[in-house]
Amino acid sequence: MKSVSIEERSVILAHYIIETKDTVRGAAKKFGISKSTVHKDVSERLKKINPALAKEVRVVLDENKAERHIRGGLATKRKYGH
């Protein structure tokens, strides 16, 4: 994501998360930036840039948060082969 402004990056990340339903961690890995940067971009900066888009991405992030315990349990199950 070289030579892109912070505002553009925030919008790009938001669209990616909405379209793919990916997690903050997944988006960070895809774009080669930290989870903290992704979270700050889509949670704080986006509210000032595009409030409607911020609400859309918040829905996906809340959904991911609600499902997090399930994904964690599945990962543990895979790890230990039960």
Q: Write the pLDDT tens digit of every residue in 1-39.
A: 778 999 999 999 999 999 999 999 999 999 999 999 999
pLDDT of 82 higher than 70: no
Q: Which of the pair, 81 or 43, is modelled with greater confidence?
A: 43
Task: Tell me the mean pLDDT in the region 28-55.
Answer: 96
Q: Half-sphere exposure of residue 69, counting CA atoms within 13 Å on the CB side?
A: 1
- Answer for the pair 40, 79: CB distance below 8 angstroms, yes or no: no
Number of domains in the chain: 1
* Mean per-residue pLDDT of the chain: 93
Does residue 44 belong to any structural domain of this protein? yes
Does residue 1 belong to any structural domain of this protein? no
Q: Residue 12: give the domain boundaries.
A: 6-80
**pLDDT for the residue numbered 44:** 96
Q: What burial class does residue 40 get, using C-beta atoms within 10 Å of its C-beta: 0-12 exposed, 13-18 middle, 19+ buried?
A: middle
